[in-house]
Amino acid sequence: MPDYVIAPRPQPALPVQGSNALFPVGRIFCVGRNYAEHAIEMGSDPTREPPFYFAKPADAVLTGGADMPYPAATKELHHEMELVVAIGAGGVDIAQGDALQHVWGYCAGLDMTRRDLQNAAKKTGRPWDMGKGFDHSAPMGALVPAGTFDPTKGKIQLNVNGQLRQVSDLSKMIWSVAEVIANLSSLVRLQPGDLIMTGTPENVAAVGKGDLLEGFVEGVGEVRTRIA
């Protein structure tokens, strides 16, 4: 054990479905505009431009159905329901055909967004970090081992207060999970523990204190949080 000058922080981790074991989280990469209908609602052209990425800190993960405190400095907290990919085996320049063998598992997640701050950053050409990478901005459900799950299809849905808010299918991703892993690993060396949030379908919208968010990805599981 090194002699740290301050106490090291606890390791952020995700629960694993049906197990007491934990998945240690390294980095959280997020794909921007990966469903055409969401790209259109954000005022972008959904033609197949190369994928682009932003990141959240590892300790943004919020697990176990815990409440999400309404964040500071925003009047427009948006939900983005997403499939999350957990990398179990790292690599660089991973071939698309090998990409899914690098996946340890999947979970349902929410890329919570301070949309007003993100929009202000877009206008001024500044980074998105404070719109995307704030505390507790990544509620996630339990991880399910990859097994035979096929991430090229399956319903993805978010209910707010029991009302349907977002619904789509993983088949509508512009860049598939395998393509994202191949592309991202050409930019950075993926490491075991990295998470990839694969983008949201359309109908993102604001939530407020007291709202209950319940998301679901077919074949993967659920994510749940209440805004407190």
**Which residues bind to Mn ion, rule: CB under 5 A?**
80, 111, 200
Nearer Cβ to Mn ion (98/222): 222
Closest CB to Mn ion among 63 and 166? 166
DSSP readout, 134-163?
-TT-EEB--BEE-TT--TTS-EEEEEETTE
Nearest residue to Mn ion, by Cβ distance, number only: 111
Q: Which is nearer to Mn ion, 80 or 214 (CB)?
A: 80
Cβ of residue 209: shortest distance to Mn ion, in angstroms?
22
Token pair in block for residue 36: 């055409």
Cβ atoms 110, 156 nearer than 8 A: no
Token pair, residue 226, equals: 């209440």
Q: Which is nearer to Mn ion, 16 or 85 (CB)?
A: 85
To Mn ion, the closest distance from the beta carbon of 148 in angstroms equals 26
- CA dist., res. 213 & res. 215, Å (int): 6
CB of 98 to Mn ion, least distance (A): 26
Q: Which is nearer to Mn ion, 16 or 177 (CB)?
A: 177
Q: Shortest gap between Cβ of 153 and Mn ion (angstroms)?
A: 20
The string of DSSP codes covering 3-53 is --SSPPPPPPEEEBTTSS-EEE---EEEESS-BHHHHHHTT---S-PPP-E
Q: What angle do CA 84, 31, 116 make, to 5 degrees?
A: 105
- Nearer to Mn ion among residue 94 and residue 197 (C-beta): 197
Element spanning 86, H or E:
strand 81-87
Minimum distance, C-beta of residue 197 to Mn ion, in the bound complex (Å): 6
Beta carbon of residue 74, minimum distance to Mn ion (angstroms, whole number): 16
H or E stretch including 39? Answer: helix 36-41
Please count the residues of the chain. 228
Q: Residue for token digits 């698309």? A: 96
**H or E segment and range at residue 119:** helix 115-124
Beta-ladder partners of 64? none
